[in-house]
Amino acid sequence: MWDQLKLSISCAAAFLSALLAMPLLNYFLPELMATRVLGFTVSWLILGILFFPFVWVISYLFIKRSIALEDNEARFAQTSGTPHKD
């Protein structure tokens, strides 16, 4: 249970860090964020193209690790007869 909580908090922290980084980057580095790359400003490139794959990676890692934790818990419960308590 505690492992699942740690996983959830770390994934939420990664997501919130990325989400809060955009306004901070726009505020503190406006010249960089206004630079054009492939016809987009860096700000729009990050928001429109790079942000969603980042969220997909976080989701994929969360699901993969969550399933592994659940399998480990089920395996432990089958062998000992009692659920594992963290």
Decide if 56 is inside a domain.
yes
What pLDDT is recorded for position 86? 58
Domain range for 53 is 2-8+24-76
Decide if 65 is inside a domain.
yes
Structural domains in the chain (count): 1
* Nearest partner of 1 among 57, 52, 59, 72, judged by Cα: 72
What pLDDT is recorded for position 82? 60
pTM beyond 0.75: yes
Decide if 37 is inside a domain.
yes
Tell me how far apart the alpha carbons of residues 59 and 44 are, in angstroms, rounded to a whole number: 22
Decide if 31 is inside a domain.
yes
What pLDDT is recorded for position 84? 57
What pLDDT is recorded for position 80? 79
Decide if 68 is inside a domain.
yes
For residue 1, the SS3 value is coil
Decide if 57 is inside a domain.
yes
Decide if 35 is inside a domain.
yes
For residue 47, the SS3 value is helix
Decide if 44 is inside a domain.
yes
Block mean pLDDT (10 aa), the chain, length 86: 92 96 95 94 92 96 96 88 60
What pLDDT is recorded for position 81? 63
